Amino acid sequence: MAGGKKSKNHPIDEDLDFQQKMWRIQRAGWVVLALLMLVTVLGLFGGGPLSSAQALDSSGLLQVDYNRFVRMQSPQTLHVSLDEAAVHDQQASVWVSQAFLDRVRIERIHPQPERVTAQDGGQIYQFSVRGPLQVTYDLQAKGPGVYRVELGLPGAEPAVFTQVVYP
């Protein structure tokens, strides 16, 4: 017992062993707090280098910029970029799997799609466009979990990625 001498005169019951243990745990806790700050800066909870990621579909014409880590009921954005080669007759379409759409609330799609059609277990958003297309989906995840996102051009193999949604 470091520095611990118990005598009958002491007014209280000290437990120095326990106190030492507690101090060690406290120090460890401080380290954990510091690490928490660090991984937050790095983006483990969204919005940092660890979090931002890109996915390409099989044709390479569609690219999605997304966050690997997002939080439930807080805003997130998917940036979808379509190559000019994916535009036909000034029309371009993006297919999103229904399984993913069921788990998010769509706040806004920009630009607004001309038509939305349900097809192939998902929805096809059709845009009128000249040149390459940039679409942003502003979303909110409804609940926590690991989301599998499938997003691509209609009729082609979609880009597949996962998002971790924190509670």
Indicate whether 102 belongs to the interface with other proteins (CB under 8 A): no
Coil, strand or helix: which one is 9? coil
Indicate whether 119 belongs to the interface with other proteins (CB under 8 A): no
Is residue 141 a contact partner of residue 76, using CB atoms and an 8 Å limit?
yes
Please give the Cα distance from 95 to 97 (Å, whole number): 7
Stretch that binds other proteins, among 2-10, 42-50, 59-67, 156-164 (CB under 8 A): 2-10
Minimum distance from residue 20 beta carbon to other proteins (Å): 9
Indicate whether 23 belongs to the interface with other proteins (CB under 8 A): yes
Closest CA to 64 of 126, 142, 137, 145: 137
Q: What is the DSSP letter of 157?
A: P
Indicate whether 107 belongs to the interface with other proteins (CB under 8 A): no
Minimum distance from residue 44 beta carbon to other proteins (Å): 17
Which residue's entry shows tokens 């406290």? 26
Answer for which of 8, 13, 34, 49 binds other proteins (CB under 8 A) is: 13
Please give the Cα distance from 15 to 18 (Å, whole number): 5
Question: By CB under 8 A, how many residues form the interface with other proteins?
Answer: 19
Stretch that binds other proteins, among 11-19, 93-101, 111-119, 151-159 (CB under 8 A): 11-19
Closest CA to 54 of 41, 70, 71, 67: 67
Indicate whether 25 belongs to the interface with other proteins (CB under 8 A): yes
- Helices (H), ranges, the chain: 16-42, 98-101
Chain contacts with other proteins (rule: CB under 8 A) = 2-3, 10-15, 18-19, 22-23, 25-26, 29-30, 32-33, 73
